[in-house]
Amino acid sequence: MIENLSFYFYLFKKISLLLGAGVYLVFALIVVKQTFTMSKNINDKFNYILIAFSYIHLAFSFLLILLTLILV
Amino acid sequence: MPRSKDLDTIAPDDLIVVDSVPEPKKPTPVKKTVVVKKTVPVIEEPVVASDNILAQKIYDIFGHTKSPFSAALVFPKVFSFAEQNDGEVVLLALRSHWFTNTSWILMAIFMFTVPSLVPLIPIPGLDGGLRILLSFTWYLITFAYSFEKFISWYFDVSIVTNRRVVDIDFNNLLDKKFSEAELSKIQDISSRVSGVSQTFLNYGTVLIQTAAEQNVIVFEKVPFPGKITKLLQDLRFSESEKDKDGGQE
């Protein structure tokens, strides 16, 4: 019974963390989209760098999902 | 000595002395070639000649931009906005003063140091893997926070062109506000500098009352509010002069 409970707790923890990482991934996608939209609206010297940063952020949010699967 | 053609136009009666007569060229076989007309894109100069006085005046007021991250970009070479019309020249692009960023920079530094402080606090059930994951997430959130703050500052721009004033606000990632007024519709310009930091660092808010639908345009926390006010007054004056000249003609 206790073993089952601890398993359910582990499952709950893992699913919650995965959901959180998924929500963060959606947020990262919104950041990319919004950086693109802002760059279209205002064209300045460093737009490409900002877009690159938003993509790096997106890549790290993918990594977050992977880490959640591996580490938890 | 052969004379130049320019002199011939001045004194056409003079004889042209030629040292050697060139041999007549042999007729070359005519090749049929397909002529493709290329349309050469016309590169518009950022400042046309008639605007030189205006440009000099603006440089006199603001000086030249030294840093690309400057909060006041004078005649920016690489700067345009989506609603910009043909032939419209950006005279001044303004962002909030750099000092307005200090609060979030300090917050980001604090957030960055938090994971190094957490090991000092014993948290039951926080094993190695979960600790790494939480630290990673925390750093990611810190980056996202800083990035969001930075792009909010970077894309929140007030623009003065040779035709109008424009204010583009991105309040957060999903909210954009665009307001504009033609220079001729500006009725009143006022600036406000309040507080210690604004007084010391010379930044503040410029309020532009207009006769347009958007009756107040606010340039928030911009550097040199006094200079901006002066520039806008000059531009408004020159616009009204132009209108008068147009009316008389």
Enclosing domain of residue B133: 102-151
- Position B132 in a domain: yes
Minimal Cβ distance to B140: which of A30, A40, A61:
A61
Q: Output the pLDDT for position B82.
A: 84
Structural domains counted in chain B: 2
Q: Output the pLDDT for position B247.
A: 60
Q: Output the pLDDT for position B109.
A: 94
B184 and B113 share one domain: no
**Considering chain A, what percentage of its residues have pLDDT values greater than 70?**
96
Residue A63, pLDDT above cutoff 90: yes
Top pLDDT among B111 and B37 is at B111
Q: Output the pLDDT for position A43.
A: 87
Minimal Cβ distance to B144: which of A31, A42, A68:
A31
Sheet holding B157-161, edge to edge: B72-74, B90-94, B157-161, B164-172, B175-182
List pLDDT tens digits, range A28-39: 999 999 898 889
B106 and B192 share one domain: no
Pair B208, B181: CB distance under 8 Å: yes
Residue B91, pLDDT above cutoff 80: yes
Q: Name residue B176's amino acid.
A: K
CATH number at residue B188: 2.30.29
Banded pLDDT at B50 (limits 50, 70, 90): low
Alpha carbon of B24: minimum distance to chain A alpha carbons (Å): 57
Minimal Cβ distance to A43: which of B80, B170, B174:
B80
In chain A, what are the domain boundaries?
Answer: 2-71
Top pLDDT among B243 and B77 is at B77
List pLDDT tens digits, range B196-241: 988 999 899 999 998 877 688 899 899 989 888 988 888 888 877 7
B130 and B207 share one domain: no
Among B83, B137, B167, B175, the strongest candidate for a mutation testing the A interface, having the largest count of A CBs within 10 A, is B137
Top pLDDT among B116 and B21 is at B116
Residue B143, pLDDT above cutoff 90: yes
Q: Output the pLDDT for position B9.
A: 45
Q: Output the pLDDT for position A49.
A: 93
Q: Count CB-CB contacts under 10 A for residue A35.
A: 24
Q: Which residue of chain A has the CA closest to B144?
A: A57
Residue B149, pLDDT above cutoff 70: yes
List pLDDT tens digits, range B165-179: 999 888 766 778 888
Q: Output the pLDDT for position B44.
A: 46
Pair B147, A53: CB distance under 8 Å: yes
Q: Output the pLDDT for position B14.
A: 44
Q: DSSP assignment, residue A69?
A: H
B239 and B192 share one domain: yes
Residue B45, pLDDT above cutoff 70: no
Q: Does A59 touch chain B (CB under 8 A)?
A: no
B117 and B207 share one domain: no
Dihedral sign for Cα B101, B102, B103, B109, please. Answer: positive
d(CA B99, CA B202): 10
d(CA B242, CA B236): 10
- Terminal-residue alpha carbon distance, chain A: 22
Q: Count CB-CB contacts under 10 A for residue B195.
A: 10
Q: Does B68 touch chain A (CB under 8 A)?
A: yes
d(CA A9, CA A18): 14
Contact at CB, A43 and B81, closer than 8 angstroms: yes
Residue B37, pLDDT above cutoff 60: no
Q: Which residue of chain B has the CA closest to A18?
A: B133
DSSP code per residue over chain B: -PPPHHHHHH-TTSPPP-SSPPPPPPPPPPPP-------PPPPPPSS-GGGHHHHHHHHHHH-----TT-SEEES-SS-EETTPPTT--EEEEE---GGGGHHHHHHHHHHHHHHHHGGGS--TT--HHHHHHHHHHHHHHHHHHHHHHHHHHHH-EEEEESSEEEEEEEEETTEEEEEEEEGGGEEEEEEE--SHHHHHHTEEEEEEEESSSS-EEEEEEEE-HHHHHHHHHHHHHHHHHHHHHHHH-
B146 and B168 share one domain: no
Going by their DSSP bridges, the two strands B186-192 and B203-210 should be labelled as antiparallel
- Position B15 in a domain: no
Pair B99, B90: CB distance under 8 Å: no
Maximum mean pLDDT: which of A46-60, B8-22, B35-49, B73-87? A46-60
Q: Output the pLDDT for position B111.
A: 92
* Residues in chain B closer than 8 A to A48 (CB atoms): none
Q: Does B82 touch chain A (CB under 8 A)?
A: yes
B91 and B119 share one domain: no
DSSP reduced 3-state for A46: coil
* Residues in chain B closer than 8 A to A19 (CB atoms): none
Q: Output the pLDDT for position B49.
A: 52
